[in-house]
Amino acid sequence: MDSLFDKMYLKFYAEKDKLMWGTAPSPGVVSFAEFLKGKEMLEAIVLDSGCGEGRNSIYLAKQGFRVYGLDISAVAIEKARQWAEREGLLEKIWFEVGDVSQMEFRDEFFDAAIDINTINFVKARRKYVAELSRVLKPKGYLLLETLSRESKEYGISKDELEWLITPFFEILEMKEFHAPWGGQNLLHYRILAQNR
């Protein structure tokens, strides 16, 4: 699958010898892993939706979860697979190329899902959130982090997020935090939600 995101990744790798999104998991994902463990979901099957090069998938697999990383960029997925192989994690993680707004997973397959800065790049957002809800078990948990409209180009508003999510999920917690983006420290949202 050829994508604009492939070009973005290839351009980055041509200029820099490192991963675009780094190797450290998002702090929200670290807390989410503890949250799932606290719910005794130690062997949860977790979807990393728009997983990029896999920094969050790899972290979750190391915590004992079974992880499916899905991304539209074959270039990013290849990087993620190579990384997982080096870590000896290929029995815990499955990386696949695909569009998160048209997933091929069966209904109610996942116990939990994360979306770390993916929804803001997805075109068919309503369809995407419906897909997240479909592939998650009823009452399954979703962690979603996204850039706010402080980034005019890539952000999403709080109102739009609530409008997208609440028909399918109950929002348990919504927090604002600042994180680096394009050389600036920009407002982001972190949502913990439960599938209806």
Give the binding site for ligand SAM (CB under 6 A): 5, 21, 26, 50-52, 55-56, 71-73, 76, 99-101, 116-118, 121-122
Shortest Å distance, C-beta 171 to ligand SAM: 20
Structure tokens at 21: 């999104």
Interstrand relation of 93-97 and 45-49 (parallel, antiparallel or unpaired): unpaired
146 vs 195, which CB is nearer to ligand SAM? 146
Dist CA 69 CA 2 (whole Å): 18
Structure tokens at 87: 């870590």
40 vs 153, which CB is nearer to ligand SAM? 153
23 vs 157, which CB is nearer to ligand SAM? 23
116 vs 161, which CB is nearer to ligand SAM? 116
Shortest Å distance, C-beta 63 to ligand SAM: 16
63 vs 101, which CB is nearer to ligand SAM? 101
Helix (H, G, I), strand (E, B) or coil at 32: helix
Shortest Å distance, C-beta 40 to ligand SAM: 26
The DSSP-derived string for 33-62 is: HHHHHHTT-TT-EEEEET-TTSHHHHHHHH
Closest residue to ligand SAM in the complex (CB): 52
Shortest Å distance, C-beta 169 to ligand SAM: 19
Dist CA 105 CA 194 (whole Å): 19
Shortest Å distance, C-beta 163 to ligand SAM: 19
Residue 93, C-beta contacts closer than 8 angstroms, at least 6 positions apart: 54, 57, 58, 61, 66, 67, 68, 69, 84
